[in-house]
Structure 1
Amino acid sequence: MRETLRRLLRQRKAAVGGSILLGFLVLALVGPWLVMDPTELVGQPHQPPSRAHLFGTTGQGQDVLAQTVVGARETLAIGFAVGALVTLVGALVGITAGYLGRRVDDALTLTTNVFLVIPGLPLAIVLGAYLPSGPMRMVVVLTFAGWAWNARVFRAEALALRGRDFVAAAVVAGESHARIITRELLPNMASLVASSFIGNTLYAVGAQVGLEFLGLGDVGAVTWGTNLYWAGNDAALLTRSWWIFVPTGLCIALVGFSLTLLSSAIDELTNPALRAPPSAPVPAKAVEVSSEVPTSGVLLSVRGVSIEYMTASGPSRVVDQVSLDIAPGEVFGLAGESGSGKSTLGYALLRLLPPAAAITQGRILFDGMDVTALSAEAMREFRWSRVSMVFQSAMSALNPVLSLGEQFHDTLAAHGGSSRAASYARAREMLTMVGLKPELVHAWPHQLSGGMRQRVGIALALALEPKLVVMDEPTTALDVVVQKELLQRVVELKERLGFAVLFITHDLPLLLALADRVGILQAGKLVEVDTAERLRTDAKHPYTRLLLSSFPHLGASDVAAPTLDVLEHAALKPAQAALTGGRR
């Protein structure tokens, strides 16, 4: 925030706009004590500027300078209050509608559209005519008439953000809807919130002055709007007494100009990626570990699960009667071409399917507990503490406007109310465990490389020591060297902590090196499950053999136990094959 503020101050637009607005704020706070009583009759009416009255006198003999200075206080106070309220109401309604969707979205969107259909000025006039006089009347009228347009803008932004991986990660971590809206979505709309607040303040000042000029304000108060109202009543234009209305009009124009400049500058500069990144930490050395895993018992049992998407042409089945088991400590690989249903099945284990998808049959049992029958509150407890997830895109799985320590705190606080100090201590421990420096607890996601971000994702997934970690193509966007380092770390942590892994990928050679057993998905059906060695040498299904034939560089070492050397071999083989045209 400090860095953004410094950049903002260096911006010419922000410097000019901020200086003008700051001058008016100082004038509104201090000015009334430096001028005479604006309601006192101090001279002859319609007197032009003079030494005694620098801005002249009004049609009733009051000092124009005093009225201009004193009028700034209430006008700006109402303007900023309405700007904040309109932004707050519009943001809460819009984000709630966009994030929750379905019936909530339908109801809130209908309400918003009704307010948008009603012309704002007639609505404000009607409300202003019937509400009690005073500053609060103007605040209520302008807030009531102006929130709807903002709600539509924030709803559109919420719809764009709710599908991001960091929101799904917050859901998996068990955060409540209110916390996701206030901690995950709103901070990512900082630029929109700031711009909306300034735009709404500009709207409020203009609308307030307009309504007061029409006589709908408190004509006994001293504001810029009532100054213009009395200038009109005193025939300032007809008598060519320009000094009565020009100072107030010029002040209104300058405030509008300053707010416009600030809005433009904030749009350009409110971006956390503009913070200067620190020097990249040196990754820790990998340690060779054993590949033996326990296979007794069943940790996860998927029995006859089918998943369908509702489309315009009817239901479309993407996972069809899939059954599989994962033992404690086992690495189970799930492979198949794009669109085969791998990720959909992984998301179903945590009941993170999008609204258009649903489990239509079958059961998912974890330690004998039916996950498909759990309540929403029970699912919040289940996710992350029992089963966690490492998402495919490390770039979007982390919240870009929260430091790593804060993201650990959000996750831990959602499961037991961990203090911030304890959360940061746990974050340092987990960052060290995945080979990163503990000082990165204060870093921002954009300051890390792709491989470092993915390690942070693994650290977050292991923060509550789950029994199963679902890894949804965690190495897709990484180069082969980083893939090797990441997989070495996964194997090491699995051996140390004893968790099981469901590893989802289209990279079959990688699974043959990493997994204890591999399942092959084709068009939503699980066509074959076997150990890596038997699958490579004695695959039964034609589709499995077709997948294997797509990797002519596969050798005997690709199906050996997943030691660090084998993982390096599996990671580098595709690159070597590409360089040699696939020749052995």
Structure 2
Amino acid sequence: MRDSIRRLFRHRKAAVGGSILLFFLVLALIGPWLVMDPSDLVGRPHQPPSGAHLFGTNGQGQDVLAQTVVGARETLAVGFAVGALVTLVGALIGVTAGYLGRRVDDALSLTTNVFLVIPGLPLAIVLGAYLPSGPLRMVAVLTVAGWAWNARVFRAEALSLRNRDFVAAAAVAGESRARIVARELLPNMASLLGSSFIGNTLYAVGAQVGLEFLGLGDVGSVTWGTNLYWAGNDAALLTRSWWIFVPTGVCIALVGFSLTLLSSAIDELTNPALKAPPAVAAITPVTSAAQAEPQPPGVVLSVRELCIDYATERGPSRVVDTVSFDIAPGEVFGLAGESGSGKSTIGYGLLRLLPPAARISQGRILFDGTDVTALDEEALRAFRWAKVSMVFQSAMSALNPVLTLGEQFHDTLAAHGRTTRAASYARARELLAMVGLSPELVRAWPHQLSGGMRQRVGIALALALEPKLVVMDEPTTALDVVVQKELLQRVLELKARLGFAVLFITHDLPLLLALSDRVGVLQGGKLVEVDTAARLRTDARHPYTRLLLSSFPHLNADDATGPTSNVSLAAPERPPALAALSGGHR
């Protein structure tokens, strides 16, 4: 928590917003002792700013500077009190409803929805009429009127957290439901609590000033809202006495601005996707002879000295370091390496799908003589999927859960040219049959398919525009051995039939050696060895490759296979210990 707070105030937005807000908090605390009594009649009404009265006087002859300074105390006190109460009430009700579910959720959600449909202003008027005058009335009115929206937000977050393993572990450990809510769920919503508190405080200040301006507050107190109320009654705008309302208006705007900056800073620090990454070096040409040469003949893809950097607060971090390789038409080229070696980053880099924090800092990606790193947005859209497509690791995440399969095929085809929905559905049926699925699944939803079926749909989508290269990023990781074998055999059949090349990315080295024509081995972002599958099995040169091979004892010279034309994708035999545990049954 201490580190999070330290990072928050190192953030530029947080530093600016926090400085402005701190100024007003100090002003609210000690300012009233530094100015005159705001209720004293000290000058002529509507007196413009002067040496005696820096902000002039209002319609009653009171000092505007004193009213502005003193008004900050109650306004900010009410604002922060309401912000805290609205956040607390909304969080407790929302998290309780989301975690307990069933009847409790039904009752609390119904109550929440009732408060959401009641207009806030009439509710505030009714509550204000029956509550005693004073700042506590404003706190109660704004809390009752504002908690419901927060409850809905926290309920949604609780629904996403209640099925996590750590919540189940707490329940198994015997923790009570109240303790799970307080100790397990709410601490995991710390960023949401912080941003909600800031947002609710902003809501409270604005709502308080608005209600008091309409005369629904205690007009006898000195607040920013009542300052504007009396400015309106004194016809300050009609008499062009701008100094009566401008100072208060500027203070309200600055407090709102500071709270908005703090809220934005919290969002960016807790959600890196919203944070603008630090600048990294743009793509720069290298001067090596290999880079200067054109793409070799008989090669569909040529990667030359590719470097990819991730921007961090400490500077660029290189995750792909001067990688070079070629892929021939119809070839299966495998990339192997441990987690974090940069293999998936290379796959995403070929399609320029890197996250905002990553940049290609050096090198070229040549596809049929075109430098992919130099394509503009329009050319890149035409290149993706039509020339190089991708099968993503998580099929369920890659498929849109609210669209049928046919609609997703139509979206893909329509994005690259004019086509009718009927033509798209016909093409979808053809592609589904091609990957071994029923053509009638065009009407199905992704959740109605098994994992293997969804991955086949991903392959069918990748082939929709007949690309020359398909990047497969760990497409079989979540599948069992039997489904994996069937899927890969289908890929090889389609490759032989359609003639596309494959860049297959996985940490499963035995699978790559059985599937690929050539295999590249990555270590720490560097391509340490590239060779045919057969030679890697029997004559690996790099120590890291030999280390990977030694991790799979069943890989030896006796089971070496040739290229993919004679590929064997049989499931590996189980060790004797596992066979014994299962009673010897297959």
Taking structure 2 as the reference length, the TM-score comes to 0.51
Q: Distance in 2 between matches of 1:580 and 1:558?
A: 27
The offset of 1:375, in angstroms, is 0.6
Q: 1:17 to 1:407 in 2, by over 3 A?
A: same
Q: 1:356 to 1:576 in 2, by over 3 A?
A: farther
Counterpart residue identity of residue 453, structure 1? R
Equivalent position SS for 2:311? strand
Task: Identify the residue that residue 526 of structure 1 maps to in structure 2.
Answer: 527
Which residue of 554, 565, 568 maps to 1:566?
Answer: 568
Counterpart residue identity of residue 526, structure 1? L
Task: Identify the residue that residue 545 of structure 1 maps to in structure 2.
Answer: 546
Are the aligned partners of 1:392 and 1:476 in contact in 2 as well (CA < 8 Å)? yes
Q: 1:375 to 1:549 in 2, by over 3 A?
A: same
Q: Distance in 2 between matches of 1:124 and 1:562?
A: 75
Q: Distance in 1 between matches of 2:469 and 2:397?
A: 22
Task: Identify the residue that residue 557 of structure 1 maps to in structure 2.
Answer: 559
> Pairwise mapping of residues 339-354 of structure 1 onto structure 2 (< 5 A)?
339-354=340-355
Q: Distance in 2 between matches of 1:353 and 1:408?
A: 24
The offset of 1:417, in angstroms, is 3.0
Counterpart residue identity of residue 460, structure 1? L
Q: Distance in 2 between matches of 1:396 and 1:525?
A: 29
Q: 1:12 to 1:308 in 2, by over 3 A?
A: closer
Task: Identify the residue that residue 393 of structure 1 maps to in structure 2.
Answer: 394
> Pairwise mapping of residues 105-116 of structure 1 onto structure 2 (< 5 A)?
116=203
CA deviations 1:365-386 (Å, max 9, x no partner) are 1111010111112111111111
Task: Identify the residue that residue 190 of structure 2 maps to in structure 1.
Answer: none
Q: 1:124 to 1:411 in 2, by over 3 A?
A: farther
Task: Identify the residue that residue 321 of structure 2 maps to in structure 1.
Answer: 320
Equivalent position SS for 2:531? strand
Are the aligned partners of 1:351 and 1:372 in contact in 2 as well (CA < 8 Å)? yes
CA deviations 1:524-553 (Å, max 9, x no partner) are 000010111111111111111111111111
The offset of 1:491, in angstroms, is 0.1
1:482 is aligned to 2:483: yes
Q: 1:479 to 1:347 in 2, by over 3 A?
A: same
1:439 is aligned to 2:440: yes
Task: Identify the residue that residue 360 of structure 1 maps to in structure 2.
Answer: 361
Task: Identify the residue that residue 500 of structure 2 maps to in structure 1.
Answer: 499
Q: 1:386 to 1:534 in 2, by over 3 A?
A: same
Q: Distance in 1 between matches of 2:455 and 2:200?
A: 42
Are the aligned partners of 2:517 and 2:532 in contact in 1 as well (CA < 8 Å)? yes
Q: 1:447 to 1:376 in 2, by over 3 A?
A: same
Higher relative contact order (CA 8 A, sep 6+): 1
Counterpart residue identity of residue 507, structure 2? H
CA deviations 1:222-248 (Å, max 9, x no partner) are xxxxxxxxxxxxxxxxxxxxxxxxxxx
The offset of 1:125, in angstroms, is 7.4
Counterpart residue identity of residue 513, structure 1? A
Q: Distance in 1 between matches of 2:475 and 2:206?
A: 51
Q: 1:364 to 1:573 in 2, by over 3 A?
A: farther
Q: Distance in 2 between matches of 1:554 and 1:519?
A: 17
1:405 is aligned to 2:415: no
The offset of 1:557, in angstroms, is 3.4
Q: Distance in 2 between matches of 1:580 and 1:347?
A: 43
The offset of 1:396, in angstroms, is 1.4
The offset of 1:121, in angstroms, is 4.9
Q: Distance in 2 between matches of 1:494 and 1:296?
A: 21
Equivalent position SS for 1:455? helix
The offset of 1:296, in angstroms, is 6.8
Q: Distance in 1 between matches of 2:436 and 2:576?
A: 27
Equivalent position SS for 2:465? coil
What are the ranges of 5 or more consecutive residues in structure 2 without an aligned counterpart? 1-103, 118-148, 154-195, 216-228, 233-258, 275-295, 582-586
1:333 is aligned to 2:337: no
> Pairwise mapping of residues 76-475 of structure 1 onto structure 2 (< 5 A)?
116=203, 118-123=205-210, 297-475=298-476
CA deviations 1:259-313 (Å, max 9, x no partner) are xxxxxxxxxxxxxxxxxxxxxxxxxxxxxxxxxxxx9701111100111112233
Counterpart residue identity of residue 209, structure 2? P
Q: Distance in 2 between matches of 1:475 and 1:521?
A: 19
The offset of 1:439, in angstroms, is 1.1
Q: Distance in 1 between matches of 2:535 and 2:478?
A: 29
Are the aligned partners of 1:512 and 1:533 in contact in 2 as well (CA < 8 Å)? yes
Are the aligned partners of 1:553 and 1:574 in contact in 2 as well (CA < 8 Å)? no
Are the aligned partners of 1:509 and 1:558 in contact in 2 as well (CA < 8 Å)? no
Q: 1:401 to 1:574 in 2, by over 3 A?
A: farther
Q: 1:523 to 1:17 in 2, by over 3 A?
A: closer
Are the aligned partners of 2:514 and 2:567 in contact in 1 as well (CA < 8 Å)? no
The offset of 1:558, in angstroms, is 4.2
Q: 1:466 to 1:124 in 2, by over 3 A?
A: farther
The offset of 1:573, in angstroms, is 3.9
Q: Distance in 2 between matches of 1:557 and 1:516?
A: 16
Are the aligned partners of 1:480 and 1:575 in contact in 2 as well (CA < 8 Å)? no
Q: Distance in 2 between matches of 1:567 and 1:494?
A: 15
Q: Distance in 2 between matches of 1:117 and 1:488?
A: 62
Q: Distance in 2 between matches of 1:492 and 1:378?
A: 31
What is the aligned length?
339
Identity %: 70
Q: Distance in 1 between matches of 2:329 and 2:565?
A: 19
What are the ranges of 5 or more consecutive residues in structure 1 without an aligned counterpart? 1-10, 25-82, 88-108, 131-147, 164-294
The offset of 1:577, in angstroms, is 8.7
Q: Distance in 1 between matches of 2:449 and 2:370?
A: 38
Q: 1:372 to 1:113 in 2, by over 3 A?
A: farther
Task: Identify the residue that residue 192 of structure 1 maps to in structure 2.
Answer: none
Q: 1:449 to 1:162 in 2, by over 3 A?
A: farther
Q: Distance in 2 between matches of 1:467 and 1:574?
A: 37
Q: 1:450 to 1:529 in 2, by over 3 A?
A: same
The offset of 1:572, in angstroms, is 2.9
Equivalent position SS for 1:534? helix
Q: Distance in 2 between matches of 1:463 and 1:297?
A: 24
The offset of 1:575, in angstroms, is 7.2
Are the aligned partners of 1:306 and 1:319 in contact in 2 as well (CA < 8 Å)? yes
Q: 1:576 to 1:530 in 2, by over 3 A?
A: farther
The offset of 1:564, in angstroms, is 7.6
The offset of 1:451, in angstroms, is 0.6
Are the aligned partners of 1:296 and 1:328 in contact in 2 as well (CA < 8 Å)? no
Equivalent position SS for 1:572? coil
The offset of 1:406, in angstroms, is 1.3
Are the aligned partners of 1:558 and 1:566 in contact in 2 as well (CA < 8 Å)? no
Taking structure 1 as the reference length, the TM-score comes to 0.51
Equivalent position SS for 1:320? strand
Are the aligned partners of 1:296 and 1:327 in contact in 2 as well (CA < 8 Å)? no
Q: 1:359 to 1:575 in 2, by over 3 A?
A: farther
Counterpart residue identity of residue 563, structure 2? A
The offset of 1:398, in angstroms, is 1.1
